[in-house]
Amino acid sequence: MKETMKYDIPELAAGIHDRVLTWQRTIHADPEIGFDTVRTAALVAGELRSAGVAVREGVGRTGVVGDIEVPGAAQCMALRADMDALPMDEENDVPHRSRNPGAAHMCGHDAHTAMLLGAAHVLAGRKEQLSCSVRFIFQPNEEALPGGAPAMIQEKCLEGIDCIFGLHIWPFLDTGCVGILPGPAMAQPDIWRITLTGKGGHAATPHETRDPVIAAAHLVSALQTVVARNVDPLDAAVLSVTQIHAGSADNIIPEQAEVRGTIRSFRKEVGETVRTRLREVARSVADTFGMEAEVKVTQGYPVVVNDATACAYAEKALENTVPTTRDVQPSLGGEDFSYYLEKTPGAFLFLGNRDVEKGIEHFCHHPRFQVDENALKIGVQTWLALVLRLFPEAISPDDVSGCSRSRGIPPED
């Protein structure tokens, strides 16, 4: 392994900041949804090539993979950013506001992409001093099942990788710090749909119908007991009803009503319990009202489980450069970064993005969500520190006491 060098990481990040901000605003103004990240991917590939990074395009349909290969390096670290926007409109009044109706970067993926591009440029310019090879993974379709990660993995984006890190803008933390959470960090997000089929008819003769609207109303109430009375209060789980669809006219009782929602859980056993009870309650309510219930549950991304040793390494790498905190709560939101962690040890970090004085406090997926310019600087510093401070003494035995060793994280000797 090459001799450890000292870097002024904040200075390196400051040197690329103007370009990072330009990339973020360019991507923000031209958002793309799902796997249709064609223009964003082209921008990423072009900028990586201009930095001297080897590029593969069309990975997992529209993903981009960049590599800095360091001759003789014993390890390869992967860094991942997502590129896709949300199917919603933006309400911010800013010059770089989304110009594409029905699409907006209200989850920070534009920032994720720009920050990783900035880190790639800096690291490519210091290839001769790197102790490890680095892979940059730019992924489409994080926001919608089945996610973009499985397609990227299928096309070997993790081949030869020893560890992986992800980073997400996080408005629950103040700008200037990074949250590091060993163990379960984000939940499994299932979605479900229940279709109740009864007998429609004229609203003036309800006695001749079997009204699915009435059944749907009872179903919504009954589903509230699933978590409350079937899950240990010490386990985290959510069952939310988010949609009800029925009817077409004021004087018609419809034949069908559809109820939809989500389940969130951190443990497989809990998730299975909630899914089973959802089906049982739906069919019981349907039987009570003399109708049929069709239940469809689509299981979401696995739980994001951060490797304890990777978290300890990240804390050491960021020491004296970026403040870190473990005072961050697990989120019942979902993330397909979990698929990478099932294959390779690593961690998903949370980048503070809250400044109340600036009015930057809306959470992800809000139409007025904003990225703090200062958070961009901290994000680039985080990526640089993870790579540039990769050295054997990065983790001492005390840091990983009681933790199982994982391949790909610097050894303790």
Q: Which residues are catalytic?
A: 301, 373
Please state, as a whole number, how many other Cβ atoms lie within 10 Å of the Cβ of residue 398.
8
Report d(CA 336, CA 147) in Å as an integer: 6
List the one residue out of 353, 408, 410 whose CA is nearest residue 379.
Answer: 353
Pairing of strands 63-68, 76-82: unpaired
Is residue 202 a contact partner of residue 253, using CB atoms and an 8 Å limit? yes
DSSP-assigned states of every residue in 134-146: EEEEEES--SSTT
Report d(CA 413, CA 399) in Å as an integer: 12
Report d(CA 278, CA 282) in Å as an integer: 6
Enclosing H/E stretch for 325: strand 324-325
* DSSP 3-state percent helix, strand, coil across the chain (nearest 5): 35, 25, 40
DSSP-assigned states of every residue in 277-289: HHHHHHHHHHHHT
Task: Give bridge partners of residue 166 from the DSSP assignment.
Answer: 80, 348
398: which residues sit within 8 A by CB, 6+ positions away? none
Report d(CA 328, CA 321) in Å as an integer: 19
Report d(CA 255, CA 273) in Å as an integer: 30
Six token digits for residue 147: 């996610």
Please state, as a whole number, how many other Cβ atoms lie within 10 Å of the Cβ of residue 264.
24
